[in-house]
Amino acid sequence: MANSAPIGVFDSGVGGLSVLREIHAQLPHEALLYVADSGHVPYGEKSAEFIRERSQRIAEFLLGQGAKALVLACNTATVAAVADLRERYPDLPIVGMEPAVKPAAAATRSGVVGVLATTGTLKSARFAALLDRFASDVRVVTQPCPGLVECVEAGDLDSPSVRQLLQGYVAPLLAAGCDTLILGCTHYPFLRPLLRELVPADVALIDTGAAVARQLQRLLEQDDALAAQPTSHPAQFWSSGAPAQLEQILPLLWGSSAVVRALPE
């Protein structure tokens, strides 16, 4: 496969744009393909079987567009589908997401770490294994956050209603003594400015977008598959929801406008 081939990235909706930004910053020469499965957002309340099916379908689409690597820019999709995709495509570089338990456990001073995530992520065996592996010496307090994904999907990052919702989720974590908060969903980094207003300055906010971009770079370097020249088409976008809705929100979440095409079903 040519080094100029694109990297395929997908999420249940617009949250993965936070990861796409990190990939573009880390690998500015690479061409990027992004699929927002907004017709089925949020994944957090869906069955694992449904998410595996969607992930397989989107992976096939991205590979059909010539993708040389896949990034599951969604914690819930990673939990449900990354093992299946790696088994199906053993020679393809595939990077998933997982909540930043290891760096959070290393960063905490109080010994108490809070996790903001979707219900699907918090209930998963993969998350339980992360806790067993990296958080045996700290107390982890989890907080499911229904409704936050939908706020970000609508471009609502700082209204009184989202502020009230987020305050309600953060308050019990702070009351429990958390000095480190894991943003365990790719939608949540877009709420970082609002979170900074709601939590004390010495509370660390940790997500894994930059780490995913670095891992992707390592895998492409191993395969000698990094782009040699800057691309003339930095990013292309598809949505299984309303393309016009993603087009409207791209300047806010991606930083520039672009044409969004309908994902073929």
Specify whether 74 is catalytic.
yes
Query: Do 105 and 59 belong to one domain?
Result: no
Chain segment 216-230, per-residue pLDDT in tens: 999 999 999 999 888
3-class state of residue 111 by DSSP: coil
Residues 28, 7: Cα–Cα separation, whole Å: 12
Find the catalytic residue in 74, 145, 151, 178: 74
Mean pLDDT of 238-261: 96
Query: Do 214 and 182 belong to one domain?
Result: no
Question: Domain end: 162, 191, 206, which one?
Answer: 206
Residue 2, in any domain of the structure:
no
Both tokens assigned to 176: 């429990």
Query: Do 252 and 123 belong to one domain?
Result: no
Chain segment 80-124, per-residue pLDDT in tens: 999 999 999 999 999 999 999 999 999 999 999 999 998 888 988
pTM of the shown model: 0.95
Specify whether 185 is catalytic.
yes
pLDDT for 121 equals 86
Chain segment 40-61, per-residue pLDDT in tens: 998 888 899 999 999 999 999 9
* Band (1; pLDDT cuts 50, 70, 90): low
Q: What is the CATH number of the domain that holds 17?
A: 3.40.50.1860
What domain range includes position 123?
101-206
Handedness of CA 114, 116, 121, 126 (dihedral sign): negative
Find the catalytic residue in 145, 151, 178, 185: 185
Query: Do 80 and 25 belong to one domain?
Result: yes
Neighbours of 24 (CB within 10 A): 20
State yes or no: pLDDT of 165 exceeds 80. yes
pLDDT for 125 equals 85
Please state the domain count of the chain: 2
